[in-house]
Amino acid sequence: MSNSKTVQPAESAAEVKSELALLPSVDIYEDAKNITLKADLPGVSKEGLSIELDGETLTIEARLNTDMPESMTTLYADVSGNRYVRRFSLSSELEVGKINAEMKNGELTLIIPKREDLQPRKIEVKAG
């Protein structure tokens, strides 16, 4: 380990602004086998999407292009970022290696299976 710190050059205001992340809206629901996460990522193609898993942290990151061609001026903008980021911490009963992702019309569907041996079983209550 080195004690020296690398001093990062100060970012220009424009760079900071361009890196502001948008928070995508999600729906999350669970059934007996999976947890399903649906996220709205309008403007993102399959190629612009990255889903990363670091330990139990799932990061959804996606680039979108809101830049107008140079000859155009912006009259109005609700969306001013150029990427979406959202993180979730998963819990240990989920099969993180078997996550299935699908992108359609800017809508991401993530299916996170639960470990088979941990899927809910009916607990019988015996009379005492």
**For residue 98, how many other CB atoms are within 10 A of its CB?**
12
- For residues 96 and 89, is the Cβ–Cβ distance under 8 A? no
User: Of the two residues 51 and 68, which places its CB atom closer to another protein in the complex?
Assistant: 68
Cα four-point dihedral sign 98, 104, 106, 109? negative
Asked if 104 touches another protein (CB under 8 A), the answer is yes
Residues contacting residue 124 through CB under 8 Å, at least 6 positions apart: none
C-alpha R_g of the chain: 21
How many residues bind another protein (CB under 8 A)? The answer is: 44
Amino acid (one-letter) located at 67: D
Asked if 19 touches another protein (CB under 8 A), the answer is no
Asked if 54 touches another protein (CB under 8 A), the answer is no
Site string for another protein, 21-40 (x = CB under 8 A): x-x-xxxxxxx---xxxx-x
Binding site for another protein (CB under 8 A): 21, 23, 25-31, 35-38, 40-45, 57, 66, 68-69, 71-79, 85-91, 94, 104-107
